């Protein structure tokens, strides 16, 4: 089993292509060997010049060890036993090797060449044999939307007997200009997806892996449902939980997921014994998202707001609810993501005219001061601050509380203490892969008090969602009120 990764030095670049060795943390002048539970992984460089450098990861799989190891008795292997294609075909074993041998690169870290880790490189990846049960088109389907030029050539079952036709293996060549870490996460997630089987039993940790390594590309991928299903090898409960979490990342309507159910059934009928139940959210009654929007709306009413900003509005779920209240005369949604905004704008256009005309959405980055956001009665940051790097959070505070300075600011964020109540969320893990932090109630209170003191706001706190005696509620909300509220100097100062 073999994968090669080649990097070509761009014209005029100051660094040699052999810097690929720094990114992979493997010296181009040495051959290295890593013991794995199922065999041995070798890293070597068939070519290493200033212009072009190729790293090869070669797995020597020991089928006997594989059968005796972790994969023993998994449904995908029990039949294969000692005779299987694993020594030759790229699969979940290659993903495991990528994560153990190139783990630092997979996470996008490189102490010696940090700027190079963040740079898109001219890459070419070659895999001589990839099991691709959906045919060569499925390789195109999953890799092309990520910016790769894909060449997937079916391999004949036996070159000596062309009449036997093609096998379900392809030779795969990917070329593109991407960051190395992106390239590795694509391989890590998508090779097992094309293969459609895993060599180990799956549990909910697999969902976290999918979301972690799919970060930044999976939510927007046109084939994300297919990828999720195949990655989780069609374990219904895992798939549905993963899709629900992806949808929440994306703020899609979870109800829309119901439409996927029949999809499952036309793939290998009868392989699953349990019919998927509703997504286990662990919540009774209205969803947390609904409770959050209701709490925010109540806070806006209490503040007597009529002109409001929804900062980081996403796909506009709150905008739609606020539009129904005539007392709100102007509602502005701001988000940095054009993709989210397009969806929000489409949803607003579908509202009755009297509602739609009071709502506008526009693009903006909350970490930059924007004079046109000044003078509003209230601003909402609904599940937004935890998406902002802590190094940029100060800039957001200044832009929102310092420069825009609305009469009130309503902020919601996860209460990390509550995470222990979510099954399947590892200790210390975040609820979503895009979260940069999740705070305890004390951490949130510290932050809010400091921001309030710096910018002249009083602050009060409210739990959102059913409260647990020990760990509190799932969501925490802070309502900031500007202390010099009567002084309307800020208004119209723009």
Which contiguous run of DSSP H or E holds residue 122?
strand 121-131
Only one of the segments 75-83, 158-166, 183-191, 364-372 lies at the binding site for ligand SAH (rule: CB under 6 A); that segment is 364-372
CA torsion, ordered 156, 157, 163, 166, to nearest 10 deg: -50
Can you give the C-alpha Rg of the chain in angstroms? 26
Interface pick for ligand SAH out of 314, 406, 414, 465 (rule CB under 6 A): 314
Only one of the segments 150-158, 218-226, 265-273, 329-337 lies at the binding site for ligand SAH (rule: CB under 6 A); that segment is 329-337
Interface pick for ligand SAH out of 99, 204, 337, 485 (rule CB under 6 A): 337
b/e 303-337 (16+ beta carbons within 10 angstroms → b): bebbbbbbbbbbbbbbbbebbeeeebeebbbbbeb
Report how far residue 69's alpha carbon sits from residue 305's, in angstroms, rounded to the nearest whole number. Answer: 63
Query: Residue 403 interacts with ligand SAH (CB under 6 A)?
Result: no
Query: Residue 312 interacts with ligand SAH (CB under 6 A)?
Result: yes
Report how far residue 309's alpha carbon sits from residue 333's, in angstroms, rounded to the nearest whole number. Answer: 6
Q: Which is nearer to ligand SAH, 253 or 280 (CB)?
A: 253
Only one of the segments 177-185, 270-278, 383-391, 435-443 lies at the binding site for ligand SAH (rule: CB under 6 A); that segment is 383-391
Query: Residue 388 interacts with ligand SAH (CB under 6 A)?
Result: yes
Query: Residue 245 interacts with ligand SAH (CB under 6 A)?
Result: no
Report how far residue 18's alpha carbon sits from residue 52's, in angstroms, rounded to the nearest whole number. Answer: 7
Interface pick for ligand SAH out of 106, 300, 313, 448 (rule CB under 6 A): 313
Q: Which residues pair with 380 in a beta bridge?
A: 310, 410
Q: Which is nearer to ligand SAH, 172 or 384 (CB)?
A: 384
Only one of the segments 171-179, 237-245, 322-330, 333-341 lies at the binding site for ligand SAH (rule: CB under 6 A); that segment is 333-341
Interface pick for ligand SAH out of 125, 317, 451, 490 (rule CB under 6 A): 317
Query: Residue 384 interacts with ligand SAH (CB under 6 A)?
Result: yes
Interface pick for ligand SAH out of 76, 195, 223, 335 (rule CB under 6 A): 335
DSSP state of 301: H
- Sequence-ordered alpha helix ranges (H) in 350-399: 353-356, 390-397
Which contiguous run of DSSP H or E holds residue 208?
helix 205-213
Cβ of residue 349: shortest distance to ligand SAH, in angstroms?
Answer: 18
Report how far residue 281's alpha carbon sits from residue 422's, in angstroms, rounded to the nearest whole number. Answer: 9
Interface pick for ligand SAH out of 19, 340, 377, 438 (rule CB under 6 A): 340
Q: Are 341 and 335 in contact (CB under 8 A)?
A: yes
Which contiguous run of DSSP H or E holds residue 228?
helix 224-231
Interface pick for ligand SAH out of 208, 223, 251, 438 (rule CB under 6 A): 251
Q: Which is nearer to ligand SAH, 76 or 340 (CB)?
A: 340
Only one of the segments 96-104, 118-126, 321-329, 330-338 lies at the binding site for ligand SAH (rule: CB under 6 A); that segment is 330-338
Listed residue (324, 312, 396) closest to 356, CA to CA: 324
Strand ranges inside 249-406, DSSP E: 307-311, 330-335, 359-363, 378-382
Query: Residue 347 interacts with ligand SAH (CB under 6 A)?
Result: no
Only one of the segments 126-134, 258-266, 336-344, 463-471 lies at the binding site for ligand SAH (rule: CB under 6 A); that segment is 336-344
Binding site for ligand SAH (CB under 6 A): 251, 312-314, 317, 335-337, 340, 365-367, 382-384, 387-388
């Amino acid at each position: 089993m073999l994968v090669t990764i080649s990097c070509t030095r761009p014209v005029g670049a100051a660094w040699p292509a052999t810097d690929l060795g720094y990114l992979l943390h493997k010296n181009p002048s040495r051959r290295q060997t890593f013991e794995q539970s199922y065999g041995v992984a070798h890293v070597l460089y068939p070519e290493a010049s200033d212009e072009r450098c190729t790293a090869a990861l070669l797995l020597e799989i020991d089928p006997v060890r594989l059968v005796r190891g972790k994969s023993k008795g998994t449904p995908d292997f029990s039949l294969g036993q000692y005779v299987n294609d694993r020594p030759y075909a790229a699969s979940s074993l290659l993903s495991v090797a990528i994560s153990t041998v190139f783990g630092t690169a997979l996470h996008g870290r490189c102490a010696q060449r940090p700027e190079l880790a963040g740079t898109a490189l001219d890459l070419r990846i070659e895999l001589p044999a990839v099991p691709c049960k959906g045919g060569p088109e499925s390789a195109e389907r999953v890799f092309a939307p990520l910016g790769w030029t894909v060449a997937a050539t079916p391999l004949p079952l036996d070159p000596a007997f062309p009449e036997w036709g093609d096998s379900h293996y392809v030779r795969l060549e990917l070329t593109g200009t991407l960051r190395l870490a992106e390239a590795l996460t694509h391989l890590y997630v998508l090779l097992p997806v094309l293969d459609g089987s895993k060599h180990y039993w799956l549990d909910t940790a697999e969902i976290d892996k999918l979301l972690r390594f799919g970060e930044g590309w999976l939510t927007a991928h046109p084939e994300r449902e297919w990828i999720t299903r195949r990655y989780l090898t069609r374990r219904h409960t895992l798939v549905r939980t993963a899709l629900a979490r992806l949808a929440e990342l994306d703020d899609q309507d979870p109800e829309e997921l119901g439409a996927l159910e029949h999809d499952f059934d036309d793939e290998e009928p009868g392989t699953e014994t349990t019919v998927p139940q509703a997504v286990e959210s662990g919540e009774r009654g209205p969803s947390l998202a609904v409770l959050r929007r209701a709490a925010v709306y109540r806070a806006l009413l209490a503040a007597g707001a009529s002109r409001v900003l929804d900062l980081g509005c996403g796909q506009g779920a709150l905008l739609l609810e606020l539009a129904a209240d005539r007392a709100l005369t102007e509602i502005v949604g701001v988000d940095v993501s054009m993709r989210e905004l397009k969806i929000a704008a489409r949803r607003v256009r579908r509202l009755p005219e009297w509602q739609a005309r009071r709502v506008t959405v526009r693009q903006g980055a909350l970490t930059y001061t924007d004079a046109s956001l000044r003078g509003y009665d209230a601003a909402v940051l609904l599940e937004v601050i935890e998406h902002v790097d802590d190094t940029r959070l100060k800039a957001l505070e200044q832009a929102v509380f310092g420069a825009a300075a609305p009469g009130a600011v309503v902020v919601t964020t996860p209460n990390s203490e509550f995470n222990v109540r979510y099954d399947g969320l590892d200790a210390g893990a975040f609820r979503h892969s895009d979260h940069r932090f999740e705070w305890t109630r004390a951490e949130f209170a510290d932050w809010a008090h400091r921001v309030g003191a710096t910018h002249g706001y009083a602050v009060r706190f409210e739990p959102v969602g059913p409260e647990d005696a020990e760990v509190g509620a799932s969501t925490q909300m802070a309502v900031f009120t500007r202390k010099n509220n009567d002084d309307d100097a800020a208004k119209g100062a723009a």
